[in-house]
Amino acid sequence: MAKVAVVFHSGYGHTQRVAQFVAEGASAELITIDANGDITDAQWATLDAADAVIFGSPTYMGMASWQFKKFADASSKRWFTSAWKDKVAGGFTISASPSGDKLSTIQYFITLSQQHGMIWVGQPAMNDGIINRIGSNSGVMAQVGPTSPAEDIPQGDLDTAKAYGARVASIAAKLKA
């Protein structure tokens, strides 16, 4: 079985809820980037030991949150030694608007993964109006209105997130075998 870690920032709990479903699908360890954009040394070690890393952030002003970017910048320490090369990578985001420019966030995750020499996993589930409701094939996108609590995130978005986690874990396991 592959070791998968889900590393995410969440300002108000919405990304956290999506992260929980991704992690459930992947049997992954959840790593929370704190309000200062930091994770602990032990959490860095978990990422270093993982076969797959899945990135998560809310979309804020058309991009990942600054806390996620601080984490990403700190990961440059790993870039210098190609420490994350050939790990499997994936990502997810949530926003309040139907588009909300979430693609920018996913594309940033893809760029980050490619800078590290990781292997990006897309999201192939077809949009049937419930699963992959947003119609994203680059990564997982979820959406819930600006005044809605995390509990109101549509179940289909969460099921999409869980299936995506399972897919990343399965691909990582195949590559590890």
Enumerate binding residues for ligand FMN (CB under 6 A): 10-15, 58-62, 94-97, 100-101, 144, 146
Nearer residue to ligand FMN within complex by CB, 2 or 93:
93
Residue 39, token pair as written in the block? 């994770």
CB of 153 to ligand FMN, least distance (A): 8
CB of 50 to ligand FMN, least distance (A): 22
CB of 124 to ligand FMN, least distance (A): 24
CB of 120 to ligand FMN, least distance (A): 22
On whether the CB atoms of residues 101 and 62 are closer than 8 A, the answer is: yes
Nearer residue to ligand FMN within complex by CB, 8 or 84:
8
Tell me which residue of 110, 162, 102, 167 sits closest to 136, measured CA to CA.
Answer: 102
The residues, any chain, with a CB within 8 Å of residue 113's CB and separated by 6 or more, are 55, 89, 91, 119, 120
Nearer residue to ligand FMN within complex by CB, 105 or 132:
105
Q: What span, in angstroms and rounded, lies between the C-alpha atoms of 22 and 165?
A: 4
